[in-house]
A and B are shown apart, each in its own frame.
Chain A
Amino acid sequence: MVKSLWDYRSFVWGGVRRDLQLRYFGSVLGIAWLVIQPAGLIAVFFLVFTTVFPNRVIDETVNYGAFLCAGLIPWLMFAEIVQRGHGCFLENAQLIRHSNFPRILLPMTTTLSAMLNFSLLLVIYLAVFAISGQAFSIHIIALPVLIALLGGLAFSLTVFLALINVYARDITQAVPFGLQLLFWLTPVVYSQTAMPEVLARFLAWNPLAAVIDGFQRTIVFHTWPQWHRLLYPLAFLVVSLLLSRLVYRRVSGTLADEL
């Protein structure tokens, strides 16, 4: 399986390039959109949570702007993979109806494209961070691990949703709402420590919480991620990959019949 996917590397890499081209070269502002969108969101959350609801979000000693970026950029990567990937089989119906290739390449391309995009954004952000005098520490070498884990979670969820979406278009309806819900149930714009006990216990079930927390620790708090807390998202990843594989093996051969 892995070997046969390797044979298609130029298609996947070409797909990532075409995806970026379609987004940035087709628009007037081009590559600036990579920065504009998240910067706008960060500005809005910063204003709302420092002026309108100033309390309880995070304790005073931490730079809220930095905290926000550290959680929001990874979240946006996750959301983009799911948002753009859950329709990948429907959008590429023509390709699937005409050619014989491993269907898994389509969500893979979307995932890699978003991961590349947001890794670049994270680097830009860290550079701005450094220039503005905020130090960051050796701990950021843990970032690739966190990005891979988050990308993996998004990928397995996307494959599962995209396959079901072919047969039950409800997924298209549910995804924007589901992502919104998940966003507020993940400590991205607020700190886990600011949560009441009851809610915090509930949040422990969310596999994204520990991963986002890892980003915030390495970038803002200059510590290592709590590795033992990452075991849960890792186990979640393994289970969801197995589940997606089960569905994929069942339907990938006849996906073209339904498109």
Chain B
Amino acid sequence: MTGAIRCRGVGKAYRRYAHPRERIAEWFRPGLKTSRQVWVLRDVGFAIDAGETVALLGGNGAGKSTLLRVLAGVTAPTAGEVDVQGRITAILELGMGFHAEFTGEQNVQMTAQLYGLRPAEIRRLMPQIREFSELGHQFFDPLRTYSSGMNVRLAFSLATAVRPDVLIVDEALAVGDQGFQQKSLARIGELQDAGTTLLFVSHDAGIISRVCRRALVLHAGRLHMDGPVQAALAEYGRLAAHTEIRADAGESSIAA
């Protein structure tokens, strides 16, 4: 069904090479393996039904952003299978890869073309995107003059202008000032009602418990928990406290 996400045994490893030339040697001599693999995701498996909203919790370096990037198709998993049905739109690292020299309008055009929208459709949507972003005349200024908040507002306006089957949002769910936050949450609600599957990372417990009922907790690259949002938030809090204590202990032992 469009909007469903399925992951089976998903792992992602980055290769570390002692020297750049070793990687290039590996391309042309298939038997050669000089690299060391560093796993940032390991054996992650879950299924999300179409229309569900799921939060992804975890500390820094737990693998949240990597998992979102794999699901968005930006990078291929090293192991396992990812199956996402339908049209995916992703706001990763607080943006959509806008070009600094192009204006907001040109960037919207470029990204919309990349997402396969037809020219007539882009022309039709442009005024709506401009209005929703509240950028005013700065919509026609180069992106390098934008603040990071403006950048995310533009990305959010564009990403939600056409209803995607799956919307992936990394840290940019409620962006900008309070007024825009309310507006963006309202739009998220509209998308939910219309059946969009939503997967997002946020550190704001208030927003998480407001928009979703289910959460996944990642810890050290593995799926630690998959359950109701309140229980997951509690578990995440417990994990975070635990890690903090361990970090403190580690520091004091170094000092001693």
Interface positions of A (Cβ within 8 A of B)? 7-8, 10-11, 14-15, 18, 22, 94-101, 164, 167-168, 246-247, 250-251, 253-257
Q: In the docked arrangement, what's the CA distance between A99 and B76, Å?
A: 12
Q: Is the CB of B24 within 8 A of A168?
A: yes
Residue positions of B touching A, CB distance < 8 A: 14, 20-21, 23-24, 27, 69, 72-76, 88, 90, 92-93, 95-99, 101-102, 106, 109-111, 113-119
CB of B119 within 8 A of CB of A97, answer no
What are some 13 contacts across the A-B interface (CB < 8 A)? Answer: A8-B113, A8-B116, A15-B110, A18-B110, A94-B95, A96-B97, A97-B93, A99-B114, A100-B74, A167-B24, A168-B24, A253-B76, A254-B76
A18-B102 CB under 8 A given contacts A100-B72, A250-B27:
yes
A98 with B96: CB separation less than 8 A: yes
**Is B106 a contact of A18 with CB atoms below 8 Å?**
yes
Q: What residue of chain A has the Cβ atom nearest to residue B106's Cβ? A: A18
Which A residues are CB-close (under 8 A) to B27? Answer: 246-247, 250-251
Separation of A100 and B115 alpha carbons in the complex (Å): 9
In the complex the two chains form, is B101's CB within 8 Å of A164's CB?
no
> B69 contacts which of A95, A167, A256 (Cβ < 8 Å)?
A256
Contact (Cβ within 8 A) A99 B97? yes
Expressed in whole angstroms, the Cα–Cα distance for A250 and B25 within the complex equals 13
**What residues of B have a CB within 8 angstroms of the CB of A167 in the complex?**
20, 23-24
Q: Does the CB pair A11–B88 fall under 8 Å?
A: no
Instruction: Chain A residues near B96: list those with CB within 8 A.
Output: 98-99
Chain A residues contacting B93 (CB-CB under 8 Å) are: 97-98
Residues from chain B with Cβ under 8 Å of A14 in the complex: 109-110, 113
The 3 closest A-B pairs by CB, nearest first: A98-B97, A253-B76, A100-B73
Residue of chain B at shortest CB distance from A246: B27
Q: Chain B residues near A253 (CB, 8 Å)?
A: 75-76
Q: B74 contacts A256, CB within 8 Å?
A: yes
Q: Shortest CB–CB separation between residue B143 and chain A, in angstroms?
A: 10
Pairwise interchain contact A168-B14, C-beta atoms closer than 8 A: no
- Please name all residues of chain A whose beta carbon is closer than 8 Å to the beta carbon of B24 when the two chains form the complex: 164, 167-168
> Is the contact region of chain A dominated by helix, strand, or loop, or is it mixed?
helix
The residue that A257 contacts in the complex, of B14, B20, B101, with Cβ under 8 A, is B14
Task: Assess A98 versus B75: contact at CB under 8 Å? Given A11-B110, A22-B101.
Answer: no
Quick check: B110 and A168 within 8 Å, CB to CB? no
- Give the CA-CA distance A101 to B97 in the complex, in Å: 12
Q: Cβ of A11 and Cβ of B114 under 8 Å apart?
A: yes
Shortest Cβ gap from B234 to chain A (Å): 33
Shortest C-beta distance, A174 to chain B (Å), equals: 14
Alpha-carbon distance between A7 and B90 when the two chains are bound, in angstroms? 19
The complex places the Cα of A39 from the Cα of B96 at a distance, in Å, of 40
Q: Inside 8 A of A22's CB, which chain B residues have their CB?
A: 101-102
Instruction: Look across to chain A and name the residue whose beta carbon is closest to the beta carbon of B91.
Output: A98
- B residues near A94, Cβ cutoff 8 Å: 95, 97-99
Residue of B nearest to A251 (CB): B27
In the bound complex, CA of A246 to CA of B27 (Å): 9
In Å, the complex CA distance between A256 and B20 comes to 17
A251–B27 alpha-carbon span in the complex (Å): 9
Chain B residue nearest to A168 (CB atoms) is: B20
CB distance A98 to B90 under 8 Å?
A: yes
A250 to B76, CA, bound (A): 11
Partner among A11, A96, A98, A168 whose Cβ is within 8 Å of the Cβ of B113: A11
Q: Which residue of A98, A168, A247 contacts B74 across the interface (Cβ within 8 Å)?
A: A98
Nearest-Cβ distance from residue A108 to partner chain B, whole angstroms? 13
Closest-CB distance, A120 to chain B (whole angstroms): 22
Q: A253-B76, A256-B74, A257-B75 are in contact. Are A100 and B113 (CB under 8 A)?
A: no
Task: Note all chain B residues with C-beta closer than 8 A to A250.
Answer: 27
Q: Nearest CB to that of A10 among chain B residues?
A: B113
What residue of chain B has the Cβ atom nearest to residue A91's Cβ?
A: B99
CA separation between A18 and B97, bound complex, in Å?
A: 16
Residues of chain B within 8 A of A11, CB atoms compared: 110, 113-114
CB distance from A151 to the nearest CB of B (A): 22
